[in-house]
Amino acid sequence: MISGGSTDGDSNRARKAKGRRECLEIDGGRRDEPVISFGPEDLQGVSLLHNDVLVIQARVANYDVLRVFVDNGSSVNVIFKDALIQMDLHEYQLEAVETALFGFAGHAVYPEGEIALPLTLGTGDLRKTVITAFTVVDTPSSYNVILGRPAINEMRAVASTYHQKIKFPVKGQVGEVKGDQPSSRRCYGETVRIDQKKARREGKGKERQEEAQEREVHFVAEEEQEAVEIEPGKNIRIARDICATTRELSGISPQVAEHKLNILPGSRPVKQKKRHFGPEKDKIIEKQGYHQIPLASEDQDKASFITSGGTFCYVVMPFGLKNAGATYPGPKDLHPSPEKLYPI
């Protein structure tokens, strides 16, 4: 389902003007149109017990176009740029479109523009042509064209996914186009694969962004820094209002800060399964020191866990505790602590 686009105008003023025009229009010239209905005879050749979308063949700008998705939930007609290039229509001047399109997931897609093209459905004497606007989108898709509400309404057509058919009035009769179920199923499978690849790319991009943020260096004015002696004869400068986490600040004296779990007396310990990280990550874990704030000695046994190297207890505050964020070190009296963990 697609929402947005220029169907109702690219601005609030244009949308309001269109609404006023529609309220003033009187439709009195189409009362002789035939009744459109679907019956058992329309199921001939349809593979039943299906949930297939309606994919048809249509004629667009004198080109027979396959993989045309009929979607009465879309606010615009869409023609994908790859299809436009194959039809040698990509060099035509496009009308600018300012309003973005939004899919089911809410992601915004900004169109290349809009182009008016003739659309023909049906064959022989029961063929109908209308001029309709297509929004050009440059994004991967298993479809060539999406017929949304504008084209369906201009055709005065009725679509039935169950009967795999779209019908429309033409010359006092009813024209129709049958759906292509095999093509529909192929398109669906390709759409799922495209969405999965996109999700993986976005996930990797988010991971890279988070890694970049972790590596980001912040510069602090000298007047906002304070000299700290981390060991005799060794000083560094840190910001007054942040918690430094460099390897040089490997620990904090309990006199400065100490984290307590504040567990209710008599509470039962929470048991967790052994944590598996893999041989490569285990080596990295053994080399790194991540924590600074000592954990109260009476609470250290309560923060035990099992790894491939044995059972350990935290002697410093582990990140991830519910109230860990409330405990931060001060900038003074920072001293390197001994081991971060001790085996049981």
Question: pLDDT value at position 100?
Answer: 84
Residue 186, Cβ density class (10 Å: 0-12 exposed, 13-18 middle, ≥19 buried): middle
More confident call, 308 vs 177: 177
For residue 247, what pLDDT band results from cuts at 50, 70 and 90? very low
- The closest of 94, 126, 122, 96 to 110, measured between CA atoms, is 96
Percent of the chain exceeding pLDDT 90 equals 33
210 pLDDT more than 60: yes
Distance, in Å, from the CA atom of 149 to the CA atom of 171, rounded to the nearest integer, reads: 22
Structural domain contains residue 202:
no
Structural domain contains residue 176:
yes
Q: What is the pTM of this model?
A: 0.54
Question: pLDDT value at position 238?
Answer: 59
Same-domain pairing of 263 and 189: no
Same-domain pairing of 10 and 89: yes
Distance, in Å, from the CA atom of 76 to the CA atom of 68, rounded to the nearest integer, reads: 14
Same-domain pairing of 168 and 302: no
For the segment 234-246, the average pLDDT, to the nearest whole number, is 54
For residue 217, what pLDDT band results from cuts at 50, 70 and 90? very low
Same-domain pairing of 178 and 34: yes
Structural domain contains residue 233:
no
Residue after which a domain boundary falls, among 136, 164, 197: 197
15 pLDDT more than 60: no
- Measured over the CA atoms of residue 85, residue 91, residue 95 and residue 99, the dihedral's sign is positive
Question: pLDDT value at position 337?
Answer: 42
Question: pLDDT value at position 294?
Answer: 82
Structural domain contains residue 67:
yes
Distance, in Å, from the CA atom of 137 to the CA atom of 108, rounded to the nearest integer, reads: 12
Question: pLDDT value at position 257?
Answer: 62
Percent of the chain exceeding pLDDT 70 equals 63
245 pLDDT more than 50: no
Same-domain pairing of 252 and 150: no
Side-chain half-sphere CA neighbours of 257 within 13 A? 20
CB atoms within 10 A of CB 33: 14
Residue after which a domain boundary falls, among 197, 228, 254: 197
- The closest of 26, 53, 324, 328 to 179, measured between CA atoms, is 53
- State the CATH number of the domain containing residue 18: 2.40.70.10
Distance, in Å, from the CA atom of 313 to the CA atom of 300, rounded to the nearest integer, reads: 6
Same-domain pairing of 27 and 131: yes
For residue 200, what pLDDT band results from cuts at 50, 70 and 90? confident
Residue after which a domain boundary falls, among 182, 197, 212: 197
Same-domain pairing of 182 and 282: no
Same-domain pairing of 60 and 186: yes
Tell me the pLDDT of the chain averaged across its residues.
Answer: 76
More confident call, 173 vs 197: 173
Structural domain contains residue 118:
yes
- Measured over the CA atoms of residue 287, residue 289, residue 290 and residue 294, the dihedral's sign is positive
**Model pLDDT for residues 78-87, shown as the tens digit of each residue:** 999 999 999 9
Range of the domain at 137: 3-197
Sequence length of the chain is 344
246 pLDDT more than 60: no
Same-domain pairing of 11 and 138: yes
Number of structural domains (the chain) is 2
Same-domain pairing of 41 and 137: yes
Structural domain contains residue 22:
yes
Structural domain contains residue 304:
yes
**Model pLDDT for residues 100-158, shown as the tens digit of each residue:** 888 755 678 888 999 999 999 999 999 999 999 999 999 888 999 999 999 999 999 99
Same-domain pairing of 71 and 145: yes
Same-domain pairing of 299 and 183: no
For the segment 228-245, the average pLDDT, to the nearest whole number, is 58
Question: pLDDT value at position 329?
Answer: 44
Structural domain contains residue 23:
yes
